[in-house]
Structures are given as C-alpha cells and as structure tokens.
C-alpha cells in the first residue's frame, strides 16, 4: 500500500513521531508523555528514542492534528477520538484527564489479512470458506473477540464477498473500514460528538435509524457497544440481511448476553425476550483471539432456529 498525500501531510505534522509513522512495521504509536514514546511492532510493545522537547511541544502536535477536524481539547473536554488521513485513527488526552498529554496513533493495517491469518482461518480448507459463503448468502454475522484480535481486519476481508450489485452502508464512531477500496457502492457514515454546548451530537443510534431510509442492501456497524444494539437488531428485523458487525466478547457463547445487555440500555424489556430476538436474527458468530503477534479464530458458531451450534473447530 503506497503512501498517500494525506498520510505524507500527516507525517509532516507529527514532528519527532514522523519516522515512526513512516515505518511500515509500526502499527501503532503510543505517546505517554513528551519523553515516553512506545510503538507496536508484530503485536509487541517497544520503547523508542523519540522525544518531544517538552509537554507544550506535544500539545502543539495534538492541536495541529485536531485543527482539520474543527475540534479542540479543553478542561471541559479533555479527550478526542477521530481519524486522520486514510485509515489513521487517533486518541488524545490532556490534563486533568491524564497527568500529561497523551497521543495514540493507530495506523490502518493492510487490507489483506496476511498469509498467517489466511492459513489460520483456512488451514483445514473450511473456516474462511465457510464465513465467505455465509456473507454471500446473507447471514447476519457478529465478529467477536477482545481488543486487538483482528476483528476489523476480518470484517474488511469478509466485506469483499458482498456482491458488487448491492448498496453498502457503513456506520462507525471513527472511520476505519474504508470499504470503498473493495466495493463500488459504499456510503460511509460517522458519528459526531457534541459541541462545547452539548449540542449537535450524532450517535450510532441516529445513524442506524438514518441508514434504514437510505435503501441499504447491507448495513455494517463497525462496533456495537451500547444502545445502538437495539436499533441494529431492529434493522435486521425489518428484513435487512447480510449485516456485519464486531463486538467485544470472551467467547461466541457470550455474544447473545453481551447484545442483550447492550439492548437493555435502550429499553427495559425482559432479558429472555431480548435473547430470543438476538438468536432469531443473528445467523453466525466467529470468535477471535490473540496470542502475542498471532491472531487466530477460536470458534465459529452457526445460529439456526434459535439455537447456537459450533461448526468449527
């Protein structure tokens, strides 16, 4: 993947972090303070020699990154999360939320999962083939796992299987999927935080409801964490098939309970009723885990007739 003009501009703004950002082996840059900078390479954390002259210099870099977004960090709003360039996600904090300004830059991983990933998913000729077939036939799938297990990477990989004649809407808090690279008809929707007066926020729930009025064939929610789960299941209940989403869960069996807990934040309905709804609308779950740099699937579960049935391994 070549360096884009946006990425080159971003690197210029990063000051002492620029060489780290330009290093293709670095997947994430984590600044804990002006003189404490770490990177992630091959799934492991490594300290670096990169330094800012002082905290003010670090704060200036953060403010430059926020400038194109029309946002700023204040005591009342001491954190920000967004995307910069193509696929670069950032999170920044300032006191009093943290003792010092911090900055995390997460670069987009390559669109291909890589040979090791492909081998792990399809080592016996079945897992990846099964998931691809489920996407093509229109099952609603949940990709579950802890942070950093490759959920978004797998979602991107499976999105390639969506037929090109279908209209895809992606809904994210921070844009990471960039599916326009692999599909010709994608509308990317992104949330917006409230302004300093607490107004004009656009939530995931807002966007899921909006998507229903935009003639979607597929609705892809980058990550479900809260009340948007209720609206997402509602969208599936109206006949929209083939949705993909990711969810933090410890196992495939844990997914219904996590979705029930998220939906309960929106409506006080009986948990058993919500669970039945999940099991009637979700068609499959794949759970991922991480062992150092290695990311691997641990379970693939089909959901048919309200029952979960492990089909791999």
Question: What is the per-residue pLDDT for 118?
Answer: 60
Is residue 179 domain-shared with residue 291, that is, in the same domain?
yes
Question: What is the per-residue pLDDT for 290?
Answer: 82
Confidence of residue 149 (pLDDT cuts 50, 70, 90): confident
Is residue 176 domain-shared with residue 246, that is, in the same domain?
yes
The two beta strands, 88-93 and 218-221, are unpaired
Is residue 73 domain-shared with residue 22, that is, in the same domain?
yes
Total count of domains within the chain = 2
Question: What is the per-residue pLDDT for 285?
Answer: 97
The last residue of a domain, from among 57, 88, 106 = 106
Domain extent, residue 261, equals 115-312
Q: Pick the residue with more confidence: 249 or 117?
A: 249
List pLDDT tens digits, range 219-240.
999 999 999 999 999 999 988 8
Is residue 138 domain-shared with residue 231, that is, in the same domain?
yes
Is residue 169 domain-shared with residue 292, that is, in the same domain?
yes
Question: What is the per-residue pLDDT for 196?
Answer: 72
pTM, two decimals, is 0.79
Is residue 288 domain-shared with residue 220, that is, in the same domain?
yes
Of 20-24, 62-66, 103-107, 166-170, give the range with the top mean pLDDT: 166-170
The last residue of a domain, from among 57, 89, 106 = 106
Kindly report the average pLDDT of the chain as a whole number.
Answer: 87
Is residue 91 domain-shared with residue 230, that is, in the same domain?
no
Is residue 102 domain-shared with residue 119, that is, in the same domain?
no
CATH value at residue 97? 3.30.450.90
Is residue 23 domain-shared with residue 58, that is, in the same domain?
yes
Is residue 244 domain-shared with residue 199, that is, in the same domain?
yes
Is residue 139 domain-shared with residue 101, that is, in the same domain?
no
List pLDDT tens digits, range 188-197.
999 988 777 7
Least confident residue range of 150-154, 254-258, 289-293, 302-306: 289-293
Question: What is the per-residue pLDDT for 3?
Answer: 45
CATH value at residue 266? 3.40.50.300
- Mean pLDDT, to the nearest integer, of 87-107? 90
Is residue 66 domain-shared with residue 207, that is, in the same domain?
no
List pLDDT tens digits, range 254-283.
999 999 999 999 888 899 999 999 999 999
pLDDT reading at 121 higher than 80: no
The last residue of a domain, from among 106, 133, 161 = 106
């Amino acid at each position: 993947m070549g360096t884009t003009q946006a990425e080159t501009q971003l690197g210029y703004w990063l000051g002492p972090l620029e060489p780290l950002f330009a290093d293709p082996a670095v997947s994430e840059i984590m600044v804990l303070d002006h003189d404490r900078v770490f990177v992630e390479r091959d799934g492991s954390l490594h300290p670096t020699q990169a330094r800012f002259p002082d905290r003010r210099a670090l704060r200036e870099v953060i403010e430059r990154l926020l400038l194109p977004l029309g946002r700023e960090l204040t005591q009342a709003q001491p954190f920000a999360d967004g995307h910069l360039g193509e696929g670069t996600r950032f999170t920044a904090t300032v006191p009093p939320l943290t003792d010092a300004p911090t900055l995390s830059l997460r670069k987009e991983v390559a669109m291909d999962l890589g040979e090791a990933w492909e081998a792990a998913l399809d080592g016996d000729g079945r897992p990846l083939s099964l998931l691809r077939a489920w996407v093509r036939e229109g099952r609603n799938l949940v990709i579950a796992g802890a942070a950093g297990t490759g959920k978004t990477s797998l979602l991107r990989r499976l999105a390639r299987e969506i037929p090109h004649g279908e209209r895809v809407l992606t809904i994210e808090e921070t844009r990471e999927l960039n599916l326009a690279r692999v599909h010709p008809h994608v509308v990317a929707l992104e949330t917006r935080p409230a302004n300093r007066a607490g107004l004009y926020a656009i939530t995931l729930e807002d966007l899921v409801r909006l998507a229903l009025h935009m003639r979607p064939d597929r609705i892809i929610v980058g990550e479900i964490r809260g009340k948007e789960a209720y609206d997402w299941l509602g969208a599936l209940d109206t006949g929209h098939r083939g949705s993909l989403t990711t969810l933090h869960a410890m196992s495939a069996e844990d997914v219904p309970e996590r979705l029930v807990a998220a939906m309960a934040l929106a409506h006080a309905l009986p948990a058993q009723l919500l669970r039945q709804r999940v099991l009637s609308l979700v068609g499959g779950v794949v759970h991922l885990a991480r062992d150092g740099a290695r990311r691997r699937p641990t379970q693939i579960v089909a959901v048919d007739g309200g029952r979960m049935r492990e089909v791999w391994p």
